[in-house]
């Protein structure tokens, strides 16, 4: 547990809380009145998902033993062990299954403070010594009782919980705002990319073209041209399927090839404005190549689309490719029984709709501004998460005192 202030006490979870496991779900043995219950997946960090709750027959005894009360602390016994949230009684009646521990404070220990401690312990792997590993790792009640816990004075507990709750509220508001901005962007894409809504100053009919008419489509190098054993520590990155993100190429865990291999594979180098598609599996995944990725290579599991700049604006096409209409078309025309596959001919045959180059540019600019706003909010959210982690480290160890 580390060094704590002299004014803090050391206790155990079992001394501070009553701990009870939930009801065993057994279709053959459960009898009684069907009641809604929470499983492991419903309990997330600091929130509980009550959408589409399952039911289980409950006897009179079960109802007395497993009915939740407002303020009950629920802790995951398996899965992400220690994940916890407080039941705020959003519905009148609910129960919990055996995959969850239910905790009720015995001596006034603040349940919200234990949620924060559990999160810190979980992230740092501090619960590992209390986990039983059979076929599935889990935290038995008898072990959970023994977990040591620092006990600040009640006033300091409340102050710590208040400070962390303020940051949690900021994080929740940012997450909600980002979700709204994403929904707004999707609605805007639906309107602008189909011509249902026109930007000021633009009119006229849109053209329908096959992709092969307005872009060059090329398959990545065959497996025999490049092997995993050819990868090096320093060199030119290769983009593969896992690097295709919604907002562009993901710059993480990129394989690299030597200068000699790069020269041999120059035909598969990328330019700004290229769009790369997954050729196998998630065939609707694609990403626009920007300046940071210029000169990189694409793997044999990808297809490269290089738009003709006289006919199409690459960012506009990229947004169209990320629309559900186009993604659905791609999934429907893909071949393969065990795994969806695309090839150059299939991709070339898919229809795209195109306004004038000027309108394409204007639409892409509107959507790009929305992406930039979302990215700024996500960056702010990430910084707030970092702030929360720093606060938890300071406050939960007593390095910084609020009282």
Counting residues of the chain whose pLDDT is more than 70, the rounded percentage is 99
Q: Is the pLDDT confidence value at 218 over 80?
A: yes
> Which residues belong to CATH 1.10.287.1120 in the chain?
153-205+355-403
Q: Is the pLDDT confidence value at 226 over 90?
A: no
Q: Is the pLDDT confidence value at 301 over 70?
A: yes
User: For 384-396, what is the mean pLDDT?
Assistant: 95
- Give the domain 153-205+355-403 fold: Helix Hairpins (1.10.287)
- Band of pLDDT at residue 224, cut at 50, 70 and 90: low
Q: Is the pLDDT confidence value at 210 over 90?
A: yes
Q: Is the pLDDT confidence value at 245 over 80?
A: yes
pLDDT in tens, 326-338: 999 999 999 988 8
pLDDT attached to residue 328 = 92
Q: CA 362 to CA 325: how far, in whole Å?
A: 21
- Give the domain 207-354 fold: Adenine-n6-DNA-methyltransferase TaqI; Chain A, domain 2 (3.90.220)
From its phi and psi, is residue 248 left (phi > 0), alpha (psi between -120 and 50) or beta? left
Q: CA 351 to CA 300: how far, in whole Å?
A: 24
Q: Is the pLDDT confidence value at 1 over 70?
A: no
Other CB atoms within 10 Å distance of the CB of residue 223: 11
CATH fit for domain 9-151, picks 3.90.220.20, 3.40.50.300, 3.20.20.370, 3.30.70.520? 3.90.220.20
Q: Is the pLDDT confidence value at 15 over 90?
A: yes
Provide the whole-model pTM. 0.82
Q: Tell me the pairing of strands 248-249 and 244-245.
A: antiparallel
Query: In sequence order, which residues have a C-beta less than 8 Å from that of residue 368 and are 6 or more positions away?
Result: 315
pLDDT in tens, 182-197: 999 999 999 999 999 9
> Which residues belong to CATH 3.90.220.20 in the chain?
9-151, 207-354
pLDDT in tens, 61-103: 999 999 999 999 999 999 999 999 999 999 999 999 999 999 9
């Amino acid at each position: 547990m580390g060094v704590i202030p002299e004014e803090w006490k050391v206790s155990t979870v079992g001394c501070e809380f009553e701990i009870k496991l939930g009801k065993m779900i057994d279709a053959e043995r459960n009898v009684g009145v069907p009641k809604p219950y929470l499983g492991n997946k419903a309990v997330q960090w600091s929130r509980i998902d009550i959408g589409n709750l399952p039911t289980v027959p409950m006897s009179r005894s079960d109802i007395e033993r497993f009915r939740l009360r407002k303020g009950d602390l629920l802790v995951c016994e398996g899965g992400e062990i220690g994940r916890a949230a407080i039941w705020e009684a959003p519905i009148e009646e609910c129960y919990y299954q055996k995959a969850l521990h239910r905790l009720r404070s015995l001596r006034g220990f603040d349940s919200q403070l234990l949620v924060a401690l559990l999160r810190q312990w979980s992230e740092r792997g501090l619960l590992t010594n209390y986990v039983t590993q059979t076929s599935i790792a889990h935290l038995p009640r008898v072990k959970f009782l023994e977990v040591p816990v620092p006990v600040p004075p009640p006033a300091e507990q409340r102050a710590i919980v208040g400070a962390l709750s303020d940051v949690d509220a900021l994080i929740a508001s940012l997450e909600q705002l980002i979700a709204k901005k994403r929904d707004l962007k999707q609605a805007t894409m639906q309107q602008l990319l189909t011509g249902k809504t026109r930007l000021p100053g633009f009119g006229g009919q849109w053209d329908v073209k096959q992709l092969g008419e307005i872009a060059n489509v090329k398959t990545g190098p065959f497996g025999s041209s490049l092997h995993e054993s050819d990868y090096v520590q320093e060199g030119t990155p290769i983009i593969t399927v896992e690097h295709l993100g919604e907002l562009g190429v993901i710059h993480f865990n990129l394989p690299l090839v030597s200068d000699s291999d790069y020269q041999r594979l120059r035909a598969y180098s990328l330019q700004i404005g290229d769009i790369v598609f997954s050729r196998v599996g998630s065939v609707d995944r694609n990403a626009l190549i920007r300046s940071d990725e210029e000169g990189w290579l694409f793997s044999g599991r990808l297809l490269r689309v290089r738009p003709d700049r006289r006919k199409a604006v690459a960012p506009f096409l990229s947004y169209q490719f990320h629309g559900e209409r186009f993604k659905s078309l791609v999934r429907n025309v893909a071949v393969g029984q065990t795994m969806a596959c695309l090839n150059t001919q299939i991709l070339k045959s898919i229809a795209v709709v195109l306004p004038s180059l000027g309108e394409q540019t204007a639409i892409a600019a509107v959507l790009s501004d929305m992406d930039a706003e979302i990215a700024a909010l996500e960056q702010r959210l990430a910084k707030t998460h970092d702030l929360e982690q720093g606060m938890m480290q300071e406050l939960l160890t007593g390095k910084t005192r609020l009282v």
